[in-house]
Structure 1
Amino acid sequence: MADRNWFRRRAEGQESREDLLERLAFASLVEARRRRRWGNFFKLLGFLYLSVVLVAWWPRDMEVPTMPTGRYTALVDVRGLIAEETDASAERVMTALRAAFEDSHAAGVIVRINSPGGSAVQAGEIYDGIRRLREQHPGKKLYAVITDMGASGGYYIASAADAIYADKASLVGSIGVVMNSFGFVDAMEKIGVERRLFTAGEHKALLDPFTPLDPVEADHIRTMLEEIHAQFIDSVKAGRGDRLKDDPQLFSGLFWSGEQALALGLVDGLGSAGYVAREVIGAEKLVDFTVEKDLIDQFLERFGLVMANLLWSQGAPGALLAR
């Protein structure tokens, strides 16, 4: 309608500045609508493209798990760093272990460990939880199987088991406690940086890397570490009993191969999870009770991997994959 009026006025030679502005505004509106339609089209096209890529990269073996019938061995993995927000957190591991012990078809339980350690609190909670489950279910044995590594907190957890198995080349032990810190005092002096720190409490700046180490604070930390170390030692002794050899190096923080650990009484035998299920428990079939990430987390993780590979394949600068 606006265009018809404009053409009439144009024919009559009566176009004004207001008419020109109206015409420009109308043309801008039409162009904006056109751009919005094309923008929505390309967004939809991009979404469809990503969906196709995700389907292509999604693992073919992701199916809804079904619980087998008959007699089997329950398996729970403890992988990586033992900490609150990781796959090896006490909450995740204990949720899986409770389900495994309560399952009437599980002839026994295997905790398969591949961990360098982590939080003493999280490891201690799992240790206590295993001991409690063993008391509640005396007819069901729990075995720890160390794969690549069962060190520090990883061994802490293993020591709660009825028996421990490892590979002859596994790394076992490291019964100790460590706390790391750095000091930048000399570096700050060299570059002329002045530290300004305000605290309430004499030792509130404990372990501050920009101030000299206070001998009193250092002694306090050593005392605390020794206390936690003693708790670690007591737990290992309670779990292993007289199977441990009388060797002062056992609790020094050293670690050994699986074969050496067998001689020291740190493990009871050499073998894999399959070996223990078949030869010790007598139920060869393994059923994984490990609590995995939910589908949303798995989707986001898979999506990130797909995008990283796409960037890498396109030669994007600063690609996300470390090599």
Structure 2
Amino acid sequence: MSVTDKIAARLPRIVSDRTERGPVVAAVRLHGVITPTPTPMARNTISMQTVESALTRAFEHDRLVAVALLINSPGGAPTQSALVAERIRELAAKNKVPVLAFCEDLAASGGYWLACAGDEIYAHGTSLVGSIGVVSSGFGLNGLIERYGVERRVHTAGEAKVRLDPFSPEKPEDVEWLKGLQAQLHEQFADWVKERRGVKLKATDDELFNGEVWTGAKAVELGLVDGLGTLRGVVAKRYPDAEIAIAEPRRPFLARLGLAGATTRSGDFLVEGLAALEERARWSRFGL
């Protein structure tokens, strides 16, 4: 048999192997604090910038039957939470595929906002889910700079330009303004949950939207989650012939080099250190 004949003999089998490849469930990892400004110390963060390419790749798969969201987040910036969730819904509508959200260790605050982008939400019985509220936090450094004899100089046109400046004493009127802003954001968060969960919700607004966090098992009872299950378990039942393809979001440059935590200038150390403490605090609120 000639070389040409040998190649021809193999061709039908190769073509057959390609055509017999099964469906795909594309899974996107949404892990980390939700922030528009990741720091070099951050290993994983969520924002439109970091997840856009992964979402696009996931929804463009040629044998796609569903997209899965693997969520592990204590929350963060409300705008980035909303932008990512809205992008997921846009891509789902465009490609006409269902979206399954899986809460891993934690889907709290903005993390649960992302979960609501799914048509169905699953969690492990031990997952922590909820925290449907708004929180603002920071550091008051005015005592620190006074101790070291540092003079703070700020010049503005407009009295509201330096509200809640961490280097100045806190003013009651600024706190009142912040609470009003939080109330507006809280209302938008609750409206999003109601829009996505609808009649599945099984408790009053006061019970659901008070910032409480629950286990996955309790979240099922409240209607915040559709059922208990993991990615592989649910996919095996729903799409038994499907292959799971993971799409990883972009990571900060230093993290990709294995240098997360490095800083190039000594002057950045305080800012980076405080940002790292803030990120750590978001997780530790939930015992993680």
TM over 0.5: yes
1:225 alignment partner, SS class: helix
Match of 1:291 in 2: 249
Letter in 1 for 2:51: V
Match of 1:149 in 2: 106
The aligned runs of 1:198-277 (5 Å cut-off) are: 198-247=155-204, 248-277=206-235
Q: CA deviation at 1:87?
A: 4.2
1:79 to 21, 25, 31: 31
More deviation in 103-112 or 91-100?
91-100
Q: TM-score, normalised by structure 2?
A: 0.72
Q: Which runs of 5+ in 1 are unaligned?
A: 1-67, 306-323
Q: Deviations over 1:7-35 (max 9, x none)?
A: xxxxxxxxxxxxxxxxxxxxxxxxxxxxx
Higher relative contact order by CA 8 Å / sep ≥ 6: 1 or 2?
2
Q: Per the alignment, do residues 190 and 297 of structure 1 end up closer, same or farther by CA in structure 2, a change over 3 Å counting?
A: closer
Q: Per the alignment, do residues 249 and 201 of structure 1 end up closer, same or farther by CA in structure 2, a change over 3 Å counting?
A: same
1:175 counterpart = 2:132? yes
The aligned runs of 1:84-99 (5 Å cut-off) are: 84=36, 85=38, 87-99=45-57
Supply the distance in 2 between the matched residues of 1:299 and 1:194 (Cα, whole angstroms): 39
Q: CA deviation at 1:281?
A: 3.6
Supply the distance in 1 between the matched residues of 2:134 and 2:181 (Cα, whole angstroms): 10
8 Å Cα contact 2:22/2:241 also seen in 1:
no
Q: Which runs of 5+ in 2 are unaligned?
A: 1-19, 39-43, 263-288
Letter in 1 for 2:229: G
Q: Deviations over 1:198-247 (max 9, x none)?
A: 43321222112344433322221111111111111111111111111232
8 Å Cα contact 2:254/2:260 also seen in 1:
no
Q: Deviations over 1:116-171 (max 9, x none)?
A: 11111111111111221222233x11100011000111100111111000000000
Q: Per the alignment, do residues 299 and 81 of structure 1 end up closer, same or farther by CA in structure 2, a change over 3 Å counting?
A: closer
Q: CA deviation at 1:195?
A: 5.8
1:222 alignment partner, SS class: helix
More deviation in 162-171 or 112-121?
112-121
More deviation in 225-234 or 128-137?
128-137
2:66 to 108, 111, 122: 108
More deviation in 203-212 or 257-266?
203-212
Supply the distance in 2 between the matched residues of 1:192 and 1:88 (Cα, whole angstroms): 38
Supply the distance in 2 between the matched residues of 1:218 and 1:299 (Cα, whole angstroms): 39
Supply the distance in 1 between the matched residues of 2:154 and 2:49 (Cα, whole angstroms): 38
Q: TM-score, normalised by structure 1?
A: 0.65
Q: CA deviation at 1:78?
A: 0.4
8 Å Cα contact 1:107/1:283 also seen in 2:
no
The runs of at least 4 consecutive aligned structure 1 residues that moved more than 3 Å come to 181-199, 209-212, 281-284, 291-294, 296-299, 302-305
Q: Deviations over 1:72-122 (max 9, x none)?
A: 211110011122345422233232222222212122111000111111111
1:133 to 78, 91, 95: 91
2:123 to 166, 169, 190: 166
1:301 alignment partner, SS class: coil
Q: CA deviation at 1:186?
A: 6.9
Q: Per the alignment, do residues 101 and 180 of structure 1 end up closer, same or farther by CA in structure 2, a change over 3 Å counting?
A: same
Match of 2:272 in 1: none
2:166 alignment partner, SS class: coil
1:204 alignment partner, SS class: helix
More deviation in 263-272 or 227-236?
227-236
Q: Per the alignment, do residues 282 and 216 of structure 1 end up closer, same or farther by CA in structure 2, a change over 3 Å counting?
A: same
